[in-house]
């Protein structure tokens, strides 16, 4: 039987993308088609290549081109697209062709601390400065607005007086690594 094929889009350190590659490496139902990044020096390039996963490096102009991205994904038989620390806007044509098939993880409890420009440590800094008692992750479908698509799942962690931006980041990343692959799998196979 043909496996369900995922494309991973990543522009950060790639720890989530790597974790997802490892998680599905034993799956009989789901496989990784390729990793796409808009940063040629992103650590995920080397990490994915070591795992023998095809890696596509595109320019910022190319990843803004919905026709090009759609063509690549359709030609490579991609069923779902996973944003794992991917910071560029998804073009409209790709959204239309992959409606409810693009899943993102955001490092906070949306709708708090979301929107354009809110990514990575900026989010944790904002959580820290707002003296929140909790934060977490939101896994959601992607639509035309940053961080506003339908929520699939949220997971929480405590923020205490002893926390720093770095410890908040570590707690949130742990939630991402523990839950993102499982939620992807459940959502796709539901
Ligand atoms: C992750 O924490 C992810 O939630 C966040 O970027 C980080 C990437 O880490 N994404 C966003 O902020 C999107 N708005 P990674 O490169 O180690 O996976």
CATH 3.40.50.170 domain extents, the chain = 1-99, 105-179
What is the per-residue pLDDT for 1? 84
What is the per-residue pLDDT for 12? 84
Mean pLDDT per 10-residue segment, the chain (190 residues): 96 94 97 96 92 96 98 98 95 97 98 93 97 97 95 98 97 98 97
For residue 95 the two structure tokens come to 């959204």
For residue 172 the two structure tokens come to 């949130």
Centre a 10 Å sphere on the Cβ of residue 117 and count the other Cβ atoms it contains: 9
For residue 137 the two structure tokens come to 């992750």
Distance CA 163, CA 121 (A): 14
pTM above 0.95, yes or no: yes
Q: Pick the atom of ligand 1 nearest to 43's CA.
A: 16
Task: Specify whether domain 105-179 bears CATH 3.40.50.11810.
Answer: no
- CATH second-level architecture of 1-99? 3-Layer(aba) Sandwich (3.40)
Would you call 145 a catalytic residue per the annotation?
no
Report CA(3)–ligand 1 centroid distance (Å): 26
């Amino acid at each position: 039987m043909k496996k369900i094929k995922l494309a991973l889009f990543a522009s950060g350190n790639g720890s989530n993308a790597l974790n997802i590659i490892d998680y599905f490496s034993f799956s009989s139902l789901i496989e990784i088609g390729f990793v796409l990044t808009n940063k040629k020096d992103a650590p995920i390039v080397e990490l994915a290549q070591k795992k023998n996963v095809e890696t596509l490096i595109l320019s910022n102009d190319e990843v803004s081109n919905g026709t090009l991205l759609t063509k690549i994904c359709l030609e490579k038989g991609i069923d779902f697209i996973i944003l794992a620390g991917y910071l560029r806007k998804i073009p409209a044509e790709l959204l239309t062709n992959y409606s409810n098939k693009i899943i993102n993880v955001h490092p906070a409890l949306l709708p708090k601390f979301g929107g354009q420009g809110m990514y990575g440590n900026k989010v944790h800094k904002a959580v820290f400065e707002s003296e929140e008692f909790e934060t977490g992750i939101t896994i959601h479908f992607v639509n035309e607005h940053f961080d506003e698509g339908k929520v699939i799942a949220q997971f929480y962690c405590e923020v205490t007086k002893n926390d720093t931006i770095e410890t908040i980041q570590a707690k949130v990343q742990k939630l991402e690594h523990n839950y993102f692959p499982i939620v992807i799998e459940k959502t796709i196979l539901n």
